Amino acid sequence: MRRIERLAGFTATPGKGSTRTTYTPEFRQALDFLSRECRALGLDPVVDGIGNLRCRLPGRDNAAPGVMTGSHIDTVIHGGDYDGVVGSVAALEVLAVLQENRFVPAVPVEIVIFAEEEGVTFDLSLAGSKALVGRMTLADMKVRTSNTDGRSLYQTARDFGLDPDGLPQSVLRPAEVSAMIELHIEQSIALEHDLLQIGVIEKIAGSFNYVVEVFGTANHAGATPMRLRRDALVGAALMIQEIEALARAEGRDEAVATVGRLAVAPNAANVIPNHVSFTFDLRDTDPDRMAERLAETLAALDRIAQVRRLDVTARRTGTNAPIALSGILADLVEDCAKARGYSYKRMHSGALHDTAVLAELAPSCMIFVPSRDGRSHAPEEFTDPEEIRRGVQLVVDTIVKLTG
């Protein structure tokens, strides 16, 4: 809890939640704090070329593939103090507990704290873990630009003091990792609603992320008859309604769509808008339904643009396939929960997580702890310390079973 409170203090919006986007001064404070915490454990933290922090507890056989555990410390804007932080500080606590108990694991146990998981600045979630496994290359980092100042991810990382050119040498190979474990808050209401203490995650939703631009004609708000208008904002509004309607029509909680960011130009009260850009984030745990709904969504944008005599472009900024996690590790976590007498259920994650990226490399599992009122990505985000302790205990138990 001390570490969680310290990290909560590294925010650009004190009193209004955690705002700690990658490569900001707040992110630097958090990274330095966690590096100091690793060194206090007598370990040597390394920060890679995109800003992932890695720190290894040696095992008996250090040539063998190790177990990784961790999460992310970048946040959304006005986010909560627990998203990513719980799994990150849990990783530190796990290594501290193993050392306190003179437990030498058979293979290395490695903390990994990912950068740019949220994708707030570069419209690409899970960027740190994708760079770690080589799914995002230097070339990708050079063309991926910030939505705040237009600089490339590559340049921003260099200006932050990192060495992205060194990334190809630090790409994680399958032979180096035998399992990934991430503790995370649920960020929804299922556990609290069912009065359960632990979620054992079986699959993680995928997503298609787009930036849509709608082009119309700027004109006088008073003098232009309605029949002569090409109003980009009204067109965008119709599109946004349809994006939402298609998600609701699926009738499943796993099928969602969100328009989270929107900009209007020229954004003046007496000018008919001629340009609107907005994002949409379409998710599902069923890859076929997710692809079909994307096609329906893009067709709807074109149809509305045509009826409204507007132009529209839709640029994909991210793709994350839905992924099933390791059934063997899920069983192991379930056994540990039973042994501790924790109430639990197996469930899916509607939120994306870096573990989905590591799951392509090695057997991976996630453990959820409840979010009060199901709130997340908001200052109201909260998880009780006792619930966090149970989650950390399960990470310890799972790692001890895997490396004992």
Contact call for residue 125 and ligand HGY (CB under 6 A): yes
Cβ-defined contacts of 299-305 (< 8 Å, 24+): 300/239, 300/242, 300/243, 300/246, 301/212, 301/239, 301/242, 304/235, 304/238, 304/239, 304/242, 305/214, 305/235, 305/239
Amino acid letter for position 57: L
Phi, psi of 34 (to 5 degrees): -70, -35
Contact call for residue 118 and ligand HGY (CB under 6 A): yes
According to DSSP, the β-strands at 177-185 and 364-369 are: parallel
Place of tokens 């799994």: 87
Nearer to ligand HGY, 47 or 351 (CB): 351
Residue 120 binds which entry of ligand HGY, Mn ion, none, with Cβ cut-offs from 5 to 8 Å by kind?
Answer: none
Q: Which residues of the chain form contacts with Mn ion (CB under 5 A)?
A: 83-84
| Token reading at 307 | 């009826």
Check: CB of residue 350 under 8 Å from CB of residue 256: yes
Count of residues in contact with ligand HGY, rule CB under 6 A: 5
Least distance to ligand HGY from the beta carbon of 125, Å?
Answer: 5
What are the residues facing 79 on neighbouring strands?
Answer: 18
Least distance to ligand HGY from the beta carbon of 137, Å?
Answer: 21
Residue 381 binds which entry of ligand HGY, Mn ion, none, with Cβ cut-offs from 5 to 8 Å by kind?
Answer: none
Least distance to ligand HGY from the beta carbon of 193, Å?
Answer: 20
* Beta strand extents in 325-395 (DSSP E only): 344-349, 364-369
Contact call for residue 284 and ligand HGY (CB under 6 A): no
Residue 352 binds which entry of Mn ion, ligand HGY, none, with Cβ cut-offs from 5 to 8 Å by kind?
Answer: ligand HGY
Nearer to Mn ion, 79 or 216 (CB): 79
Contact call for residue 351 and ligand HGY (CB under 6 A): yes
**Nearest CA among 212, 23, 50, 48 for reference residue 121:** 23
Nearer to ligand HGY, 161 or 260 (CB): 260
Contact call for residue 352 and ligand HGY (CB under 6 A): yes
Name the site residues for ligand HGY (rule: CB under 6 A).
117-118, 125, 351-352
